[in-house]
Chain A
Amino acid sequence: MIDPILLELLQTQLTSVVREMRGIMIRTAYSPMIHEGHDFSCAVLSATGDLVAASEVEQPTHISALPWAARSVIERYGTDIGPGDQFLHNDPYSGGAHLNDVALYFPVFHENIQIALLGIMAHWQDIGGMVPGSLSGTATEIFQEGVRIPGIRIRRRGDPITEATDLLFANVRQPEERRGDLQAMIGACRIAEKRIVALVKRWGIDTTRSGMSALLDRAETRMRNSINNIPDGIYEYETHLDNTGDSPEPLLLKLRLTIKNDTLDADFSGSALQVSGPTNLGPATSTTAVFTMAKALLDTNGAINAGAMRPLSVTAPLGTVVNAHPPAACGAIGEVRRALESLVIGTLGKAMPDRLVGDLKGASNITAIGGPHLDRSGDFLFAEFPAGGTGAFLGGDGNNTVRNFAEGDISSIQPIESIELTCPLRVESTSLRTDSGGAGKWRGGLGLTRKLRLLAPHGRLSVLSDRNIIPPYGVRGGKNSAPNRFTIQRDGRVIQPSTLPGKVTAFPLRQGDIVIEETAGGGGYGDPLERDPMLAAHDVAFEYVSQSVMLGTYGVILRNGSVDEQATATARSQMANDRVLLNLQDLHNVSDSEFDGSRRLAIVSSSTAKRLGATRDTLIELPNPDGPSLRAWLRIDDGVHTGNCAIGSSALAILNLGIGATVEVRLLDLVAK
């Protein structure tokens, strides 16, 4: 065993190098997305491209892309990597995130031996392509999203290869600013190089290298121990993205997790085929989702390095949205990544139900309003990406409207006074969205409602969001939370700004229109009828939950402001009795397929449908006592016995149930105001 003192010193010093790189990036980068949005990551990698050290605050999106892209550079240049070299990369198809995330790699040598590879991946404000800022919801090919850099050398033994960078900067907007971004990345690496060399001089090459590899081994052991603590088995789940923006069809995402001893294998086979819009991923990002969520559930404080990732394997079939073929567009990485995280949490959580958490808002919620200024020439542009509530967990309610654990920690809404001072908008209200948290023994956190009135004579609204139709799930019987919703109030009526909710492109606004942003709450945990009535009463006193939901969902009855225990018990047992319990039968007797496109089917008789209050294609769910609820679309077929629900065999695997089992089938909770 390597000296634990040396390891802790090395860890502290390496993390300190990374933090210094971050400090220099914030100080010197030109792109506001870097120095204000902190959308960048720094890392020390091994000479072979293994992630050795990153800080806790690196952008989660980059965690597996940064080393993945590094390996593609190493593969290409092999032994021809020398002191004074620098490499640039951004191509999602060889390990990048999306094209705006440009990575610089900077090998560090000491006495002609390569000690490390420094890497920085940062979101450049623009990388060329069809629109300013490069990201567009209407892109159908990656060529429209900017310049693709497959991993090229930009400096050889200290000599800049200006032909390469000139070609790049000839194809981006504000090239001088982008040169500034690159310069910032190089500057940060130069300082880090000095520090790494000093470290090597101090410890010696052998000790440094064996120390770095021992840090990875230690993290590996720690992750293996965590995985060993959960029961072996195969765990399955599926979720959906609402749609692709150009078609109302939902996109299915499937995961089959195999836990065997101290290993975890994630297989995304069965996920939707790649789409023509930008909701596709390259090969690296599904691994990011698996690693970050495994860390969150298994070992929150565990290290972020290649060792911790070793016990994980990921299969992302080529040609699907989680690993597309070129030249599919890949800009909307934020929406797909969030959907995958929700899928990984829901699946892995089945192996450790006490660590399960209700689902998150699952979308970036980018909301942009533009138009002319009232009092001066030119146009204004208002943009924010409002957070939602977080999921409930065993022993605690979710947080109200806050950046969640799978995101960074930057502001997601603009100050009201700042909006009013700089844009012809008036904020009418900013409040918590009552009843938006998923009901449960532990309640999901509340999303927000914000109303913005347009004062300018006209304007345009664009929104990029998801989970507007299929709301975040509840777990272990907990209910779903309210979905994200973006609407317009015009002349006292609420109107929809797009045919596909959450995908709004340049909707024309009139003076006086009120844009209403409503963000999702977090999913609930556990049966709402088991919620401590005192907590339910407290929720009503705080107006987190309305009287009607307290009565109708929680079955809590108050008398003179305090809980009437007797009446509550009676009401709750009545409500439990009123639940629709159905026996599962195999769907293949009545249907050829478990799915209609991406939609999972659940088939019941017409009288059962009536009892549920549902019609054809109503979204329903089957709560799972040890996992997240399974979603399906209702079909009616009187070939199914009343009292039965026909469902596919993969659904049985998800529910861990067999034919003939009795389960609750219920409508989704879509009552939130």
Chain B
Amino acid sequence: MITTAGSIAGVDVGGTFTDLVLFDPDNGTLHITKVPSTPTDQSQGVVSGLARVLPDLTKLTRLDHGTTVSTNALLEGTGATVAMITTDGFRDVLEIGRTRRMLPSVYDPTFVRPAPLVPRPLRFEISERIDKDGSILIPLDSTAIKKLAPLLDQHGIEAVAVCFLHSYAHPSHEQSAVDILRHSAANIAITASHQVVPEFREYERFSTTVINAYLLPVMTRYLSTLGDSLAAKEYRGPVYTMASNGGTMDLETAQQLPIRTILSGPVGGVTGALWITADAAVTDFVTCDMGGTSTDVCLIENGQPAAINETAFVGYPIKGRQVDINTVGAGGGSIAYAENGDTLRVGPRSAGAKPGPACYDHGGTDATVTDANMVLGRVGNRRLGGTIQPKQELAQTAVSTLATELSVPDVFRMANGIVRVAVAQMASAIREITIERGHDPTEFTLVAFGGAGPMHATLLADEIGMREVFIPVFPGNLSALGLLASDQIHESVVTFLGRLNSLDLAALLSTRDAQVTEGRRELIRRGFTNDTIRFTHSIDMRYSRQAFEITVEMATESWSLASLRRAFLDTYERHYGHADSNGEIEVVNLRTSIIGVNKKPMVPRAHERRGSIEDAIIGSRESWFDESLIVVNIYDREKLPVNQRFSGPAIVEEDGSTTVVTPGWTGHIDSAGNLRLTAVH
């Protein structure tokens, strides 16, 4: 418990637990705690968790948090009742999309496409049309919009998405429509496509805007409840929310653009890993954040996480810059089952938080990956996630039931098989994200965290052929830690479609300068100073006739048509292995990220722990390795002395996580307290 003023807190609200990390500036230490999440009102968990580590919230100066409010609302279909106002003749763009199913469904004649978030009768067409060059083909029918207001009320509409064609460059009609609605339908949340994602391609923009509208009331409710609860505890400082791009947003932005919080949870792990590894000079790695239901993997190259500009969520496209996190349905709670009586399957079905693995004794009877690890003696029966007391015999029963079903002669081989299949799936995901970008995964370090990541790390590395594994400090709380280390990032994008040869470079540069000026003004308003503001630029480009563009990172220095061309060819070559230097190139979007660099807590140093490896042994256990049960040492991570090696097989325990070091690996704690594992076979 701390009392110093100037503390900052990172809070990661997960499905089961809310993780808190509090930085105490007085002595540079971190305080960590975990409380059960409160799904019906996530803010309760945040406030009660804070109260545990910092009773006096007046000492807090900043709160960074990651929330799954948006993600859950989308998954559970509990967002707002939304209406859409769109250009006459185009209300079905939202329903037809690009005619893709976007969900796994090959060969399924009974596939049902998810219904659009706005049903057809609530998609109102308004007479208006602006051409691609901004000329007005049909003036906006303001009267019709005014007349809509009572109709919206009558349908119980909570939010409206205004989506007109070509508004990414020519937003005047959308702006007018928003103004009219603000007057005539004051109680309804309104969002317009040019505000959410001012990029061309109407369906992706409309879809993103509609989802934003769907989430607006939910997020506003949540953030205001959180604000009220914090205010009741006398905290009136800033509350930041982690965004999908790996930076935080202030309260106002989060309220207007909840769409940007879809990855709010998982991205914290990536920023946490970036922060911890930077100090250890590890720059090329793959993160593996294994939780209860799934595993998130992300490629980091030269200290930069891979980013994408479009993704899909439950079948709906979402545009906007975000960290490229690939999710596989293999987690600790993934269920192993027999399909057709003879085929072993692991996941994507999951026992979730409730009932959870069989060994949790919450009513689950299916064998899960966690149960398999329990049978193998890799998880002790002490502290799982702080509160749950797992029961070995329940895991045993679940796994042996499956073994009987599949005629596998013994329970250990069955359990081992379950773990290996889950690992093979994760390995497959990691190979894909590295090979897709032209890399050899064996040249990367595996950074494993999350509740179950360290338990599978060396197995996973072996499956891929990776030689180095990095288990950061606080692997069970890395997402919350990442929140503390995050910067504010704002994205600005302008569509600039045209051939590179005939590009108006002066116009491009002045647009870039305007993005910089506007971004700087905004960040200064938010308390940043010139020396804590940075900018990065990129341009989406493609060969003419291609439908998809690649994002080309641009240095801030002098831009010329030749340097743009060179940058495109280099990036294309890196991405696709070749580039045609004679091909005609098109410029599509200009992107600028405006970064407000936050003061970071110091990376925690390991205490100067001395003594021998043997002193760290806190017990031993029979565990299954290499086809037999052997007695292995259990080390307490807190007691491991710096830079002294131990060999696998071994188990390293700490609060919130267990690291399994398989045979053929050695480990040591580095000076920062990270657990470094190296293949020696």
Q: Residues of A at under 8 Å CB distance from B? A: 1, 3-5, 7-9, 12-13, 15-16, 19-20, 23-24, 26-28, 30, 32, 35-36, 56-57, 177, 180, 184, 187, 191, 198, 218, 221-222, 225, 292, 295-297, 300, 345, 355, 357, 386-387, 390-391, 393, 395-396, 399-403, 405-406, 409-413, 415-418, 420-422, 426, 428-432, 448, 541-544
- Measured between beta carbons, the chain A residues less than 8 angstroms from B200 are 415, 417-418, 421
Residue of B nearest to A414 (CB): B547
- Measured between beta carbons, the chain A residues less than 8 angstroms from B343 are 4, 7-8, 218
Q: How far is the CA of A113 from the CA of B565 in the complex (A)?
A: 48
Interface of B is mostly: loop
Max count, chain B CB within 10 A of own CB: residue among A191, A221, A390: A390
Q: How far is the CA of A13 from the CA of B548 in the complex (A)?
A: 30
- Whether A542 pairs with B425 at a CB distance below 8 angstroms is no
Q: How far is the CA of A218 from the CA of B345 in the complex (A)?
A: 14
- Whether A416 pairs with B421 at a CB distance below 8 angstroms is no
17 A-B residue pairs with CB within 8 Å:
A8-B417, A12-B421, A12-B428, A20-B432, A23-B432, A23-B435, A30-B578, A36-B546, A36-B547, A297-B109, A391-B109, A412-B98, A422-B497, A432-B95, A541-B121, A542-B119, A544-B120
| Interface residue from B96, B428, B575, B578 paired with A16 (Cβ < 8 Å) | B428
- Whether A19 pairs with B575 at a CB distance below 8 angstroms is no
- Contacts A12-B421, A541-B121 given; indicate if A417 touches B110 (C-beta within 8 A): no
- Measured between beta carbons, the chain B residues less than 8 angstroms from A412 are 98-99
The 10 A-B residue pairs with the shortest CB-CB distance, nearest first, are A5-B417, A429-B89, A411-B98, A16-B428, A387-B99, A28-B577, A12-B424, A415-B201, A357-B109, A8-B344
Residue of B nearest to A176 (CB): B580
| Interface residue from B113, B204, B407, B435 paired with A399 (Cβ < 8 Å) | B113
- Measured between beta carbons, the chain B residues less than 8 angstroms from A544 are 120
- Whether A57 pairs with B202 at a CB distance below 8 angstroms is no
- Measured between beta carbons, the chain A residues less than 8 angstroms from B428 are 12-13, 15-16, 19
| Interface residue from A7, A32, A431 paired with B546 (Cβ < 8 Å) | A32
Q: How far is the CA of A1 from the CA of B407 in the complex (A)?
A: 9
Interface status of B139 (Cβ within 8 A of chain A): no
Contacts of B528-572 to chain A: CB distance below 8 A: 545-548
- Measured between beta carbons, the chain B residues less than 8 angstroms from A400 are 95-96, 113
Q: How many chain-B residues does the 8 Å CB contact rule pick out?
A: 71
- Contacts A5-B421, A12-B421 given; indicate if A36 touches B202 (C-beta within 8 A): no
- Whether B98 pairs with A27 at a CB distance below 8 angstroms is no
| Interface residue from A222, A357, A417 paired with B166 (Cβ < 8 Å) | A417
| A442, chain B: closest CB distance, angstroms | 11
| B336, chain A: closest CB distance, angstroms | 10
Max count, chain B CB within 10 A of own CB: residue among A24, A28, A357, A430: A430
| B119, chain A: closest CB distance, angstroms | 7
- Measured between beta carbons, the chain A residues less than 8 angstroms from B408 are 3-5
- Whether A19 pairs with B432 at a CB distance below 8 angstroms is yes
| A31, chain B: closest CB distance, angstroms | 11
- Measured between beta carbons, the chain A residues less than 8 angstroms from B106 are 56-57, 405, 409
- Whether B203 pairs with A415 at a CB distance below 8 angstroms is yes
Residue of A nearest to B137 (CB): A426
| Interface residue from A8, A191, A395, A402 paired with B99 (Cβ < 8 Å) | A402
Max count, chain A CB within 10 A of own CB: residue among B92, B420, B425, B578: B92
- Whether B545 pairs with A410 at a CB distance below 8 angstroms is no
Q: How far is the CA of A20 from the CA of B428 in the complex (A)?
A: 9
Q: How far is the CA of A391 from the CA of B90 in the complex (A)?
A: 24
Contact with A along B408-421 (1 / 0, CB 8 A): 10000110110011
Q: How far is the CA of A13 from the CA of B427 in the complex (A)?
A: 9
- Whether B436 pairs with A27 at a CB distance below 8 angstroms is yes
Contacts of B14-42 to chain A: CB distance below 8 A: none
Residue of B nearest to A447 (CB): B96
- Whether B104 pairs with A56 at a CB distance below 8 angstroms is yes
- Contacts A222-B340, A418-B200 given; indicate if A403 touches B100 (C-beta within 8 A): yes
| B497, chain A: closest CB distance, angstroms | 5
- Whether B96 pairs with A218 at a CB distance below 8 angstroms is no
Residue of A nearest to B338 (CB): A4
Q: How far is the CA of A180 from the CA of B578 in the complex (A)?
A: 9
Q: How far is the CA of A390 from the CA of B93 in the complex (A)?
A: 18
Residue of B nearest to A226 (CB): B340
Q: How far is the CA of A198 from the CA of B464 in the complex (A)?
A: 11
- Measured between beta carbons, the chain B residues less than 8 angstroms from A542 are 119-121
| A403, chain B: closest CB distance, angstroms | 6
- Contacts A32-B545, A36-B547, A417-B202 given; indicate if A430 touches B92 (C-beta within 8 A): yes
Q: How far is the CA of A201 from the CA of B165 in the complex (A)?
A: 58
| A424, chain B: closest CB distance, angstroms | 11
- Whether B105 pairs with A405 at a CB distance below 8 angstroms is yes
- Measured between beta carbons, the chain A residues less than 8 angstroms from B406 are 4
- Measured between beta carbons, the chain A residues less than 8 angstroms from B432 are 16, 19-20, 23
Interface status of B363 (Cβ within 8 A of chain A): no
Interface status of B507 (Cβ within 8 A of chain A): no
- Whether A5 pairs with B104 at a CB distance below 8 angstroms is no
Residue of B nearest to A24 (CB): B435
Contacts of B58-92 to chain A: CB distance below 8 A: 89-92
- Measured between beta carbons, the chain B residues less than 8 angstroms from A415 are 98, 200-204
- Measured between beta carbons, the chain B residues less than 8 angstroms from A410 are 100
- Measured between beta carbons, the chain B residues less than 8 angstroms from A26 are 436
- Contacts A23-B436, A296-B108, A421-B132 given; indicate if A402 touches B546 (C-beta within 8 A): no
- Whether B100 pairs with A431 at a CB distance below 8 angstroms is no
Q: How far is the CA of A355 from the CA of B193 in the complex (A)?
A: 42
- Contacts A9-B424, A27-B438, A429-B89 given; indicate if A421 touches B497 (C-beta within 8 A): yes
- Measured between beta carbons, the chain B residues less than 8 angstroms from A413 are 96, 98-99
Q: How far is the CA of A396 from the CA of B106 in the complex (A)?
A: 17
| Interface residue from B105, B413, B575 paired with A5 (Cβ < 8 Å) | B413
Interface status of B146 (Cβ within 8 A of chain A): no
Max count, chain A CB within 10 A of own CB: residue among B342, B465, B580: B342
Q: How far is the CA of A314 from the CA of B109 in the complex (A)?
A: 23
Q: How far is the CA of A300 from the CA of B626 in the complex (A)?
A: 37
- Measured between beta carbons, the chain B residues less than 8 angstroms from A396 are 110, 112
Q: How far is the CA of A300 from the CA of B111 in the complex (A)?
A: 11
Q: How far is the CA of A405 from the CA of B110 in the complex (A)?
A: 9
Q: How far is the CA of A420 from the CA of B435 in the complex (A)?
A: 36
Residue of A nearest to B91 (CB): A431
| A38, chain B: closest CB distance, angstroms | 11
| Interface residue from B108, B416, B421 paired with A405 (Cβ < 8 Å) | B108
- Contacts A12-B425, A15-B428 given; indicate if A28 touches B89 (C-beta within 8 A): no
Contacts of B452-486 to chain A: CB distance below 8 A: 465
| A519, chain B: closest CB distance, angstroms | 9
- Measured between beta carbons, the chain A residues less than 8 angstroms from B104 are 56
- Measured between beta carbons, the chain B residues less than 8 angstroms from A12 are 421, 424-425, 428
| Interface residue from B93, B108, B121 paired with A430 (Cβ < 8 Å) | B93
| A225, chain B: closest CB distance, angstroms | 8
- Whether B111 pairs with A4 at a CB distance below 8 angstroms is no
Q: How far is the CA of A412 from the CA of B420 in the complex (A)?
A: 40
- Whether A543 pairs with B424 at a CB distance below 8 angstroms is no
| A511, chain B: closest CB distance, angstroms | 16
Max count, chain A CB within 10 A of own CB: residue among B340, B345, B408: B340
Q: How far is the CA of A416 from the CA of B163 in the complex (A)?
A: 13
- Whether A418 pairs with B201 at a CB distance below 8 angstroms is yes
Q: How far is the CA of A325 from the CA of B507 in the complex (A)?
A: 61
| A80, chain B: closest CB distance, angstroms | 32
**Given A9-B417, A57-B106, A411-B100, 13 extra CB contacts under 8 A:** A1-B342, A5-B408, A8-B344, A16-B431, A26-B436, A28-B577, A386-B99, A400-B95, A405-B111, A406-B107, A411-B99, A412-B98, A432-B120
- Measured between beta carbons, the chain A residues less than 8 angstroms from B436 are 23, 26-27
Q: How far is the CA of A411 from the CA of B310 in the complex (A)?
A: 15
Q: How far is the CA of A221 from the CA of B340 in the complex (A)?
A: 10
Q: How far is the CA of A276 from the CA of B546 in the complex (A)?
A: 34
- Contacts A4-B344, A405-B105 given; indicate if A9 touches B421 (C-beta within 8 A): yes
Residue of B nearest to A295 (CB): B107
